[in-house]
Chain A
Amino acid sequence: MHKALIIDDERLARNELKKLLQDFPEVEVIGEAANANEGIEKIENLSPDLIFLDIQMPGKTGFDMLLELERAPHVIFTTAYDEFALKAFEVNALDYLMKPVEPKRLADALHKLQQAEEKELAASLAGVNRGMLSENDQVFVKDGERCWFVKLSDVRLFESVGNYAKVFFAGNKPLILKSLNALEDRLDERVFFRANRKHIVNLRMIDKVEPYFNGGLLLDLKGGEKIEVSRRQAVKFKEMMSL
C-alpha cells in the first residue's frame, strides 16, 4: 500500500490523476498540494512514500522543491510538455508521466515502483527509524542539467564547502545545500562517520586504513579519495571498528 501525495498547481489536473488512481487500490492518495511550499509542508506532515510531482509550478519548480527535501520520497514526475524537463528525464532516467496520462503508463510506473520497494525491503530488515536517515533513503541532487536520486548507501563521502556539502558518489560530486553539521545530526552514525571538521565518510566504502601523524589515521576510500582522521576521532574510530 502506497501513501501518495499529488503536487500540481491545477485543480483539474489533480482531480484527473486522482480519478485515474482509483483503479489502483494499492495507492491511497493522502493529500494534495497546489505549489512547492505547500508540497514541502504536506510531505513533512503526512510523510507520503510516493509523490506525483508537476515540474512547472508557480514560485518553485518541482526540481527546486526536491532539492529542499532532506529525504526524497519516491517521485513520479508529471508534465504536459516541456522540452527542458523531458530532456532532464531522459538523461537521468527519472520516472515521468505525460499529461494527459495514459492509464497503461501509470500502471507501468507503479509496477516499477513496487519492484524497487521490494528490493529495498529485503535490504533493510530493521524498521525505519523516523527522523534519522537510513542507508536506503535517497536524496535528490542536481548539478547543472543533470540530476539524480542518490541512495545514501551509494555515497562515499560528504565534504564541507561553506554552507554546502559536496556529495561523492560513483563518478559525480555535486553540491547540496546542507551543512555538514546538519547532515551529521541526521545520518546513521553506524554507517556515516565524522572523520574530521570537513569530512563525513561512509564506513562501508573504506578500502584501507593506515596510521598517520600524531596518532591520526588515513582512510583510503573506494573512489580513491584519501581522508585524514583527526586524533580525537581516530580513538572513536578504533573503538567502533573493534566492535
Chain B
Amino acid sequence: MLKKISRYWWCQIIGWSINIAISIFFVSTFGNPGKLYFTSLVLTCLLGLVITHIMRLNIHYLKVLEKPLRTQIFYLIVLTLIFSVLFGVTSETIDHAIGYNPERFQKFSRSKRLFLSSFNAMWLILFWNMIYYIYHYIERNRRQELDTFRLEAMVKSLELQTIKSHINPHFIFNALNSIRALVDENPERARTAITELSNILRSSMQAEKMETVPLQQELDIVQDYLALEHMRFEERLQIEMDINEDTLNQPIPPMMLQTLVENAIKHGISKQINGGLIRVTSDFKNNHHELVVQNSGKLNGYATSKEEGFGIKSTQDRLNLLYQGKAQFEIHDIEGGMVESRIIMPAMTISNLQTLK
C-alpha cells in the first residue's frame, strides 16, 4: 500500500507536516496559541496541499516544464501570484467561517487581512514552486546524461559489430577469382582454397557472438587467410610465423589479429611490385601477452589518415572496452623498411583461464 504512494505525494505530505511542526514550535515557544489555532493551522495546511496540487495540475496542463527557461520563470511568477491570492483568500475565508479570530489581527480591516494572508501564502507557494522546479531541473539533467550514456554505449557496440564482422569484399572476390583459375591448373589446390575461404567466412560470422577466442582459433583463420593471399600473390608474399606454443590458449578478441594481417597485406604487400614479408609473432613479455604483426612497407601517414585512423582507433576502443585500459595497441615504422603493429594484453594465468571457462 505504502509503495503505491508516489514520491510527489510523499513530498507533499512530509512538506506540509514539517510546516505544521515548525509553526507549532514557534507559536508555543514565542507566544501563546490562541483558541482554534491548531484547527486553523491544520485546515490551512490541508488547503495548501489541495491548492498546490491544483497548481501542479495546471503546470502539467500548460506543459510548463517543457518550455524554455525564460518562459518557465515567467509562468512560475504568474502561477505563484495567482495561487497565492487564491490560497490567501480561501484560508482567510475558512478562518472566518470557523470563527478563528486572533487578537493581533483584530485591528486590521477585512481587505487588509485578505492582503496579508495572501502575502504570507505567497512565501509558502514560492517555496513550494522552487522545490518543485529545482527537483525537475536536476531530474531532467540526470535523465539527459543517462540518455547520452546509453546512446554512446549503443554506438560503441554497433561499431564493434561492424568491425568484427568486417571481411574485405575485395579479398573475397579476388580469392574466388583465383580459385576459378586454379580449377583447371591445380584442382587439388582449388579444393583446399574453397575450404580455407569457407573457414574464414564462417569464423567472421561467428565472431559477432563472442567476446574473446583462444589464440589458436584466431591463428587458424589467419593461416587460412594467408594461404589464400599466398595463392594470389604467389612468390610476392613471404610468410613467417613465430608463435610461442604456451600462448595458444590465451584469450584474444576475435578477428583482431586477422584485421591487422589483412591491413598489412593491403597497405604493405599489395602496394609493392616485388611484394614482401609478413611476420606474425606471439609471445609473453613482462607478464603480458604480445601479438606482433610486421610487414614490409612504410606507414606514410596512414595511421593518421581519416579512414585508417578509424580502424586504428576502433582497435584501441575494442581493447579498452574488453580490458578496461589494461591493453595497448600501437603501430609504427621499424628498421629494415618494415611496419609493426603490436597488441599488448594482460596475460591470463592458468587459474584465470579456468575461472573464465
Binding site for B on A (CB under 8 A): 9-13, 15-16, 19, 34-35, 37, 56, 58-59, 80-82, 98-101
Asked whether B136 is an interface residue with its Cβ less than 8 Å from the other chain, the reply is no
Min CB distance B182 to A, Å, is 7
Given contacts A10-B232, A10-B233, A12-B232, contact A100 B170 (CB under 8 A): no
| Alpha-carbon separation in the docked complex, A89 to B275 (Å) | 28
Smallest CB–CB gap between B175 and chain A, Å?
9
Most buried by A among B173, B178, B181, B233: B181
A80 close to B177 (CB less than 8 A): yes
User: How many Å lie between the Cα of A102 and that of B173 in the bound state?
Assistant: 12
Number of A-B contacts (CB under 8 A): 61
Which A residues touch B181, using CB under 8 A? 12-13, 15-16, 19
B185 adjacent to A98 (CB under 8 Å): no
B271 contacts the other chain (CB 8 A): yes
Contacts of B170 in A (CB 8 A): 56, 80-82
Taking CB atoms and an 8 Å cut-off, the chain B residues in 179-232 that contact chain A are 180-182, 184-185, 231-232
Complex formed: what's the CA distance from A103 to B272 in Å?
31
Residues of A within 8 A of B169 (CB): 80-81
Q: How far is the CA of A19 from the CA of B181 in the complex (A)?
A: 8
Q: Taking A81-B169, A81-B170 as contacts, is the C-beta distance between A58 and B273 under 8 angstroms?
A: yes
Cα A42 to Cα B232 with chains together (Å): 23
Q: Tell yes or no: B152 within 8 A of A by CB.
A: no
Whether A98 pairs with B173 at a CB distance below 8 angstroms is: yes
Answer whether residue B117 sits at the interface, using C-beta atoms and an 8 A cutoff: no
Chain A residues whose CB sits within 8 angstroms of the CB of B173 once the complex forms: 80-81, 98-100
Would A10 and B174 count as touching, CB distance under 8 A? yes
Which 10 residue pairs of A and B lie closest in terms of their CB atoms, listed nearest first?
A16-B181, A80-B173, A12-B181, A99-B177, A80-B174, A81-B169, A100-B177, A12-B178, A58-B273, A81-B170
CB within 8 Å for A56 and B270 given contacts A12-B231, A80-B174, A82-B170: yes
Is chain A's interface secondary structure helix, strand, loop, or mixed overall? Answer: loop
Distance between Cα atoms of A60 and B178 in the complex (Å): 22
Task: Report 16 cross-chain contacts, Cβ distance below 8 Å, ordered by A residue.
Answer: A10-B178, A12-B178, A12-B181, A12-B232, A13-B232, A15-B181, A19-B181, A19-B184, A34-B273, A37-B273, A80-B174, A82-B170, A99-B177, A100-B176, A100-B177, A101-B177
What's the nearest-Cβ distance from chain B to residue A141, in Å? 25
Q: Are B234 and A11 neighbours in the complex by a CB distance under 8 Å?
A: yes
Residues of chain A with a CB closer than 8 A to B176's CB: 99-100
Question: Which residue from chain A places its CB closest to the CB of B186 in the assembled complex?
Answer: A12
**Contact call A58/B177, Cβ cutoff below 8 A:** no
Number of interface residues of B (CB under 8 A): 22
A-contact bits for B268-282, CB 8 A (1 contact / 0 none) = 001111010000000
Known A10-B232, A58-B270, A80-B174; 5 more pairs at CB < 8 Å: A10-B174, A10-B177, A35-B273, A80-B177, A81-B170
Interchain nearest-CB distance for B72 vs A (Å): 50
Q: Which residues of B contact A34 (CB under 8 A)?
A: 273
Nearest-Cβ distance from residue A44 to partner chain B, whole angstroms: 19
A230 to chain B, nearest CB (A): 47
What's the Cα separation between A16 and B181 when bound, in Å?
A: 5
Residue from B169, B234, B273, B275 having most chain A Cβ neighbours under 10 A: B273
Chain B, Cβ-Cβ closest to A59: B273
Q: How far is the CA of A66 from the CA of B162 in the complex (A)?
A: 36
Question: How many whole Å from A242's CB to the nearest CB in chain B?
Answer: 55
Quick one: given A19-B181, A35-B273, are A99 and B234 in contact (CB under 8 Å)? no
B139 nearest CB across to chain A (Å): 47
Contacts of A99 in B (CB 8 A): 173-174, 176-177
Set of chain A residues within 8 Å of B178, measured between Cβ atoms: 10, 12-13, 16
Q: How far in angstroms is the closest Cβ of chain A from B269?
A: 8
Q: Which residues of A contact B184 (CB under 8 A)?
A: 19
Contact of A12 among B182, B272, B273, B275 (CB under 8 A): B182
In the complex, residue of chain A having the shortest beta-carbon distance to the beta carbon of B178: A12
